[in-house]
Chain A
Amino acid sequence: AQKITQTQPGMFVQEKEAVTLDCTYDTSDPSYGLFWYKQPSSGEMIFLIYQGSYDQQNATEGRYSLNFQKARKSANLVISASQLGDSAMYFCAMRERGAGSYQLTFGKGTKLSVIP
C-alpha cells in the first residue's frame, strides 16, 4: 500500500482564492511527522510546513495551514489568498520515527496552477 497518497494530479485556482491540496497517509507508527514541500519549475524543493503526530493544533505558516485529521489519516494543505507565484508542484511527505531511518516518503505530487 502507498504510504502517501495525493489524489489530485492537477488543480486550478483563481488568484486570491483559497485552495486545498489533499494528502492521506498510511502508517502504524504512533510517532511520525508530515511535511509539505513546494517545487517550482526551477526544480528546488522548498519546505513549507510541518505537522507532528502528537501536535494538538494544526500547523500554520503565513498563508499555509495544514488541516490535520489524525483519525482519518489526512493532512491537507490549505493555501489562502493564492498568488501567481504559488503555481508549482506540491508534495506531501512523511517521516516515521520508529522506522529507524530518517528518510522522507513522498507522494506523487499535485500540480497547482493559479489563474489570474
Chain B
Amino acid sequence: GAGVSQSPSNKVTEKGKDVELRCDPISGHTALYWYRQSLGQGLEFLIYFQGNSAPDKSGLPSDRFSAERTGGSVSTLTIQRTQQEDSAVYLCASSLLSSGTIYEQYFGPGTRLTVT
C-alpha cells in the first residue's frame, strides 16, 4: 500500500511569513508524529497525535508552532512568523497504536523548509 506522503517536498519562504506543511499517513495508522531534522540539533520530536487529539505536544519549540489532525488522517503543521532557525527538514511518521505493543514508525520523505 501507499506510504506516508508529505507536501510540499520543498518550501522556501521569507522570514515572518506563515507556512503550512501537510502529512498524509498510512491508511489505518492511528498514531501520527512530527519530527524536525536540522544539522545542529539532529532529529527532534515535535508532536504526537492519537487519532485527532494531541496528548504530547512537548516538543513544539514555541507557540509559533501548531498542528492539527482531522478525520484521524491528514495532519497539518503550521509555523507562524517563520524565523531563520526554523529552517530544517520536517518529517512526519505514522504507526499502529496499542498500549500493549510498541510498533515501528514509518516516515514520509519530509518537507525541506528554508527561511530566507
Contact = CB atoms under 8 A, between A and B. Distances in A.
Contact of A104 (B45, B89, B108): B45
B109 A102 contact: no
Most buried by A among B43, B48, B109, B110: B43
Interface residues of A, number: 26
Interface residues on B, range: 20 to 34
Contacts of A44: 107-110
B88 to A, nearest CB: 12
Given A102-B56, A103-B33, A106-B42, A47 B48 contact: no
Given A44-B109, A44-B110, A103 B45 contact: yes
Nearest to B3: A44
Interface string B14-57: 00000000000000000101010000001101001010000110
B73 to A, nearest CB: 18
A102 B107 contact: no
A32 to B, nearest CB: 8
Most buried by B among A91, A93, A105, A106: A106
Interface string A88-102: 000101010100111
Interface of B: 31, 33, 35, 42-43, 45, 48, 50, 55-56, 58-59, 89, 91, 93, 95, 97, 102, 104-110, 112
Given A42-B109, A43-B89, 4 more contacts: A44-B107, A47-B105, A47-B107, A102-B31
